[in-house]
């Protein structure tokens, strides 16, 4: 269902832009938008059904969307008045950027503010899967604690002293490196190009080839954006290169990992476990085989989902949209 958030200002003769918001933002952000524009807030099923989106976008000057809203060519070609797309995310793989730009649409996003939250979650998944925290929680709740009394019945892997291989040394990769230092991990990384020597020194991180990263890491943490080059970057060929005692952590985008092949790798003990926040299909289907595996920790795509970060994302998303509609420079523009 789409409903007015604020009524059209009848007293003003000025044309008010129409803005579609596909999911509720913080009240303060909605108020800011509502003062200036006619805001249409989608308040029904999430994500907004494509048919509704296409219908509504026809009259919109601005769009605030989320990673689950697929803003593809079909949507954009119906958006004849659209000037700005402001996404509530750092990732923008859900938007056909090329088509949007051809149509002169400006695109805003929310990097930086979610760096820490996402890095925290990556570290959380590492600790959880190596030390088997969630698995232990299930054991207790299922009243099976009495079966793991022996000194060796329920051992995890110590994080300190292990090597983390960070794939993608952007903002989040760097923050993970910092936090991994604090845990006593050795840091190696691979990215399109090495970071400066100073940054490497500060992060105590060593640039290695892709192959070396796969072969030498005890934990591989993915921090690359999703695009055609990173589609199924992690596949059976790579899992075979990884240590049999290693773990995969993904807080980036689901399609970077070939999930079917990951399940095989986990079942056949090619790797020891995985910690995941993102999936090929979200929300995942009830019969997803990952649900049956004890050596996997599953989070429901909550990397940036802290109270602090969501407030900041909400503010930036609204400000990007307002700046764009005012013809000014966006705070963060794709």
| Site residues (vs ligand DGY, CB under 6 A) | 67, 89-91, 114, 301, 303-304
Structure tokens belonging to residue 61: 């000057």
* Nearest to ligand DGY of 164, 299 (CB atom): 299
Q: How far is the CB of 100 from ligand DGY (least distance, A)?
A: 17
Cα dist from 40 to 46, 71, 106, whole Å: 15, 17, 20
Nearer to ligand DGY, 89 or 314 (CB): 89
- Whether 190 is catalytic is no
Of the pair 84, 114, the CB lying nearest ligand DGY is at: 114
Q: Which is nearer to ligand DGY, 23 or 232 (CB)?
A: 23
Rounded least distance, CB 66 to ligand DGY, Å: 7
In whole angstroms, the minimum distance from the beta carbon of 118 to ligand DGY comes to 7
Active-site annotation holder among 94, 106, 301, 319: 301
Query: Which of 135, 200, 280, 282 is flagged as catalytic?
Result: 282
Helix (H) or strand (E) holding 219: strand 219-222
Contacts of 166 (CB under 8 A, 6+ apart): 173, 176, 177, 180, 187, 188, 189, 190, 205, 221, 223
16 part of the active site: no
- In the three-class reduction of DSSP (H, G, I as helix; E, B as strand; rest coil), residue 141 is classed as helix
Q: Could you say which DSSP state residue 148 is in?
A: G
Alpha-carbon Rg for the chain, nearest whole angstrom, is 22
Q: Which is nearer to ligand DGY, 186 or 306 (CB)?
A: 306
Least separation in angstroms between residue 15's CB and ligand DGY is: 32
Other C-beta atoms lying within 10 Å of the C-beta of residue 291: 11
Q: Are 17 and 51 in contact (CB under 8 A)?
A: no
282 catalytically annotated = yes
The least distance separating ligand DGY from the CB of residue 108, rounded to whole angstroms, comes to 12
Q: How far is CA 68 from the centre of its chain?
A: 11
Q: Report d(CA 111, CA 109) in Å as an integer.
A: 6
| Residues annotated as catalytic (active site), given as ranges | 253, 282, 301
């Amino acid at each position: 269902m789409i409903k007015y958030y604020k009524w059209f200002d009848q007293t003003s003769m000025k044309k008010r832009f129409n803005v579609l918001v596909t999911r509720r933002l913080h009240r303060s952000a909605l108020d800011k938008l509502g003062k200036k524009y006619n805001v249409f807030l989608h308040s029904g099923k999430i994500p907004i059904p494509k048919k509704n989106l296409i219908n509504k976008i026809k009259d919109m000057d601005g769009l605030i969307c989320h990673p689950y809203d697929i803003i593809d060519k079909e949507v954009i070609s119906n958006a004849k008045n659209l000037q700005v797309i402001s996404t509530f995310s750092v990732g923008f793989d859900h938007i056909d950027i090329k088509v949007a730009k051809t149509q002169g649409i400006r695109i805003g996003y929310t990097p930086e503010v979610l760096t820490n939250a996402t890095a925290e979650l990556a570290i959380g998944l590492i600790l959880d899967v190596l030390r088997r925290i969630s698995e232990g929680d299930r054991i207790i709740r299922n009243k099976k604690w009495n079966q793991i009394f022996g000194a060796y019945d329920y051992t995890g892997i110590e994080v300190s002293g292990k090597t983390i291989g960070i794939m993608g040394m952007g903002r989040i990769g760097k923050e993970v490196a910092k936090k991994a230092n604090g845990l006593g991990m050795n840091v190696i990384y691979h990215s399109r190009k090495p970071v400066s020597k100073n940054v490497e020194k500060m992060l105590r991180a060593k640039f290695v080839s892709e192959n070396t990263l796969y072969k030498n890491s005890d934990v591989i943490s993915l921090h690359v954006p999703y695009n055609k080059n990173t589609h199924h970057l992690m596949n059976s060929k790579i899992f075979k290169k990884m240590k049999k005692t290693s773990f995969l952590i993904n807080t980036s985008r689901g399609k970077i990992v070939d999930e079917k092949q990951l399940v095989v790798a986990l079942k056949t003990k090619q790797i020891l476990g995985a910690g995941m926040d993102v999936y090929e299909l979200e929300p995942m289907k009830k019969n997803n085989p990952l649900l049956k595996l004890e050596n996997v920790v599953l989070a429901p795509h909550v990397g940036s989902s802290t109270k602090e970060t969501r407030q900041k994302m909400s503010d930036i998303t609204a400000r990007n949209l307002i700046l764009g509609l005012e013809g000014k420079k966006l705070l963060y523009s794709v």
